[in-house]
């Protein structure tokens, strides 16, 4: 499976998740990834669960399709070998702070003397033309700084972080888009270039789509925050025997749900026919929905609402996904055999190409397993 990026070579100096997740996607798209690790290896190798040291689950899950080469960039021999890799590369990715990168010779001006067509991508915490440029940044810090953590408070709880590495993975997705665009530019002009991908600005952009809200207008037409998403009643709803997710989105959905619950009075409310009126009473609607759904079992509601084309699903655990019939039919999970870690479960790329099928051809590498 060559993939659309077959023939593209990436030198990957990134660690943990912001960067490695992006370069794994590039590997799944067909690129050759040389993961350059320091003598101690990527710090993400350490957290378990693991069958052997340095091969933790999270590392295995965002480093498939790569070779690992250990180089000490503080030593002359390591820098010389690194320059050889850069000379033959199309792309270089790192997520160091820029001062640290410059000390190791990773500044764009020097790299371009080695390879004028090189595309470099620096994943930084904060944009380098602002006062936060030298601050350390990790996922939790960016979630807090961007306003993400506070959205939980506004939805009726306490400020908290998302239970996923949201900022790192969001930045990684921006990275893959930016690199693809830079490759397109180089194909037309022959020019390499430097990409700066700040995590803070990426997350603010990501959240501003809906949550800038009234602040979009000058002067403001209201506060920030998308009311429907911040409603304290927007959640998976308790049923008689578990929980269910139901999202009536238009007037016909709401009327169908209320009629299925025997509430013809609510179904006939004139306000349901107006998008603006529904938005204004969304808290009330969600509260009514919760009242209706609590009266029957999850399976009963699914069988009742699905034929009405009302968006709904059971609330899955991660464990449930392994037996999900849709994921089974699409072949999303695949069993692989790792040369040192034995049998593993992996996910296939969610994107499909009709002409250039893609997928990670090899599992994540043991430390220093690449070509000499």
The DSSP bridge pattern shows strands 243-246 and 237-238 to be antiparallel
Catalytic residues: 168
The encoded tokens of residue 214 equal: 């009234």
Dihedral of CA atoms 250, 253, 255, 258 in degrees, nearest 10, equals: -130
Contact 323, 334 (CB under 8 A): no
Nearest to 61 by CA among 31, 9, 25: 25
Omega before residue 237 within 30° of 0, cis: no
> Left (φ > 0), alpha (ψ -120 to 50) or beta: where does 367 sit?
beta
Nearest to 61 by CA among 75, 80, 42, 76: 42
Q: How far is CA 248 from CA 62, 210, 255, 279, 305, in A?
A: 35, 19, 9, 12, 10
User: Which residues neighbour 314 within 8 Å (Cβ) at sequence distance 6 or greater?
Assistant: 242, 243, 244, 245, 298, 302, 320
Segment holding 148, helix H or strand E: helix 148-154
Q: Tokens 């990026």 appear where?
A: 5
């Amino acid at each position: 499976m060559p993939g659309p990026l077959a023939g593209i070579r990436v030198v990957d100096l990134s660690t943990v998740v912001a960067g490695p997740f992006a370069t794994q996607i590039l590997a799944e798209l067909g690129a050759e990834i040389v993961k350059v690790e320091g003598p101690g290896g990527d710090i993400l190798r350490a957290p378990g669960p693991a069958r052997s040291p340095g091969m933790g689950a999270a590392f295995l899950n965002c480093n498939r399709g790569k070779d690992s080469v250990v180089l000490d960039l503080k030593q002359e021999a390591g820098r010389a070998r690194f320059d050889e890799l850069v000379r033959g590369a199309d792309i270089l990715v790192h997520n160091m702070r820029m001062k640290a990168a410059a000390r190791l010779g990773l500044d764009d001006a020097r790299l371009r003397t080695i390879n004028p067509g090189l595309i470099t991508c620096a994943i930084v915490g904060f944009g380098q033309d602002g006062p936060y440029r030298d601050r350390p940044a990790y996922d939790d810090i960016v979630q807090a700084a961007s306003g993400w953590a506070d959205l939980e408070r506004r939805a009726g709880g306490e400020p908290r972080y998302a239970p996923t590495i949201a900022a790192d993975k969001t930045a990684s997705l921006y990275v893959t888009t930016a690199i693809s665009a830079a490759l397109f530019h180089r194909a037309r002009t022959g020019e390499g270039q430097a990409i700066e991908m700040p995590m803070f600005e990426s997350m603010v952009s990501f959240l501003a789509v809906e949550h800038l809200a009234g602040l979009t207008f000058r002067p403001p037409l209201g506060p920030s925050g998308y009311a429907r998403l911040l409603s304290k009643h927007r959640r998976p709803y308790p049923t008689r025997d578990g929980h269910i997710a139901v999202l009536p989105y238009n007037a016909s959905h709401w009327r169908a749900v209320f009629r299925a619950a025997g509430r013809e009075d609510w179904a006939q409310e004139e306000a349901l026919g107006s998008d603006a009126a529904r938005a204004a009473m969304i808290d009330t609607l969600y509260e009514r929905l919760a009242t209706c759904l609590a009266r029957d079992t999850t399976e009963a509601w699914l069988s009742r609402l699905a034929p009405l084309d009302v968006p709904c699903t059971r609330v899955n655990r991660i464990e449930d996904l392994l037996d999900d019939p849709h994921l089974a039919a699409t072949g999303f999970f695949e069993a692989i055999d790792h040369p040192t870690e034995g049998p593993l479960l992996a996910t296939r790329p969610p994107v499909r190409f009709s002409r250039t099928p893609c997928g990670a051809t090899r599992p994540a590498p043991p430390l220093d397993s690449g070509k000499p």
